Amino acid sequence: MPLHIALIQPQIPPNTGNIARLCAAVDSPLHLIGPLGFSLEESELRRAGLDYWDLVDLWVHPDWFAFRDAMNRERCLYFSARATRSYWEAPYQTNSCLVFGSETDGMPERILEKHPERCFTIPMSGPVRSLNLATAVGIVLYEAIRQTSSASSTPVAGFSPPL
């Protein structure tokens, strides 16, 4: 099973478009959890995703509860600048769902409080509070691919384990 990406209430169309293109590149389903801060028809969103939208396994959930009903919570790993454990420590599985908060509000506090053992961060040593959402998704997704490809005899999404 592929790794899944979920975005909670994304706000910036180009970020979501770039993440959609990344999902198409590695064959990862993309879950958008509403309410969205834009229309899926916006030109900025379409332009950032280029002509790869047909290749994206896109799931749109009207709200958190609909997503929660569709996705087994045991598969979810949450990523936030406010978490304390490094994303390198996350227990990635080939069917994990990597969940990210919105660009403006980050991960909802209730998730951080309810699932602290499943919350992870990308360590930063400088004065920056957080990374761009598309950048963060790319960093975490490729680490998850690296770890799950190394742990299995079948490469994930056509990736070979690193030498």
Residue 104 CB-density burial (10 A; 0-12 exposed, 13-18 middle, 19+ buried): exposed
Q: What is the pLDDT of residue 163?
A: 45
Q: What is the pLDDT of residue 124?
A: 92
Name which of 133, 159, 153 is nearest 5 in CA terms: 133
Pairwise CA distance, residues 100 & 77, whole Å: 9
Q: Consecutive 10-residue runs of the chain (163 residues): their mean pLDDT?
A: 93 92 95 91 71 89 96 96 96 96 95 96 90 96 93 52 48
Find out whether the peptide bond into 2 is cis, omega within 30 degrees of 0: no
| Contact (CB, 8 A) for 7 and 39 | no
Q: What is the pLDDT of residue 39?
A: 83
Q: What is the pLDDT of residue 48?
A: 65
Q: Is the pTM of this model over 0.85?
A: yes
